[in-house]
């Protein structure tokens, strides 16, 4: 996170909250699979293969869809150059809108697939100095870095700036709690909220890029 300016850090936190929200929607809707947390799906894939269960196939397909989203998002970001955040986020919004439409038509498999692709794509939305890209959909690395920087702060040596990592993790958790609660109350409202959030972020970043 130190390779990102304050504006980029705030955007990353907002995207992390969106990712947590969407992951919770996918988790509840799919009965325990993830659309952004691929470490969890990798474990489910391994256990499913070991047990020869259908869960392994589902987890494997979600991983492939997520990676496809990362590839698509990276290619789109490279083409958009300075407008990458707005362009990528509006593409994410299109996928989330498609997911909502498929859910409305009771096409659950298609809806979950769109969520997974969108969550892969969103990781390409923010680029820092030196081409650094922050992963907003997974937090293990963020927590490791936070722990290391807390250790640095305690020793009084090295980079002890751990608060940005805590903010990123906290945003995802808060977003996931909101996503789970809204999905339990009304799945369609959860899809609509995710679409609204991605669209708002995309329009805001596109406007800021246009101004600069």
pLDDT digits (tens, 9 = 90+) for 113-131: 999 999 999 988 876 555 5
CA–CA distance, 187 with 193 (Å, rounded to integer): 10
- pTM value is 0.91
Q: How many Cβ atoms sit within 10 Å of the Cβ of residue 31?
A: 9
21-68 pLDDT per residue, tens: 999 999 999 999 999 999 999 999 999 999 999 999 999 999 999 999
CA–CA distance, 31 with 130 (Å, rounded to integer): 40
C-beta of residue 93 within 8 angstroms of C-beta of residue 199: yes
Fold of 6-124+138-204: Growth Hormone; Chain: A; (1.20.1250)
Spans of all domains in the chain: 6-124+138-204
79-105 pLDDT per residue, tens: 887 788 889 999 999 999 999 999 999
C-beta of residue 162 within 8 angstroms of C-beta of residue 146: yes
73's CB contacts (< 8 A; 6+ apart) are 88, 91, 92, 120, 121, 122, 123, 124, 125
List, in sequence order, every residue forming a beta bridge with 133; answer none if it has no partner.
127
Does 166 or 160 have the greater pLDDT score?
A: 166
C-beta of residue 102 within 8 angstroms of C-beta of residue 114: yes
State CA 192 to chain mean position distance: 17
């Amino acid at each position: 996170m130190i390779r990102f300016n304050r504006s980029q850090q705030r955007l990353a936190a907002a995207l992390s909250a969106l990712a947590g929200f969407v992951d919770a929607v996918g988790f509840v809707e799919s009965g325990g699979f993830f659309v952004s947390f691929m470490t969890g799906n990798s474990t489910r894939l391994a256990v499913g293969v070991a047990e020869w269960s259908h869960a392994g196939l589902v987890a494997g397909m979600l991983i492939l869809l997520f990676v496809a989203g990362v590839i698509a998002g990276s290619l789109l970001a490279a083409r958009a150059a300075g407008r990458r955040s707005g362009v990528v986020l509006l593409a994410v919004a299109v996928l989330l809108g498609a997911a909502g439409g498929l859910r409305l038509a009771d096409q659950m498999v298609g809806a979950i697939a769109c969520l997974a692709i969108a969550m892969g794509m969103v990781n390409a939305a923010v680029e820092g100095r030196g081409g650094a890209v922050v992963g907003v959909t997974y937090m293990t690395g963020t927590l490791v870095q936070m722990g290391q920087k807390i250790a640095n702060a305690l020793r009084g040596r090295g980079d002890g700036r751990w608060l940005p990592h805590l903010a990123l993790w906290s945003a995802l958790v808060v977003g996931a709690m909101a996503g789970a609660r809204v999905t339990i109350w009304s799945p369609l409202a959860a899809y609509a909220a995710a679409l609204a959030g991605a669209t708002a972020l995309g329009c805001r970043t596109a406007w800021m890029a246009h101004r600069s």
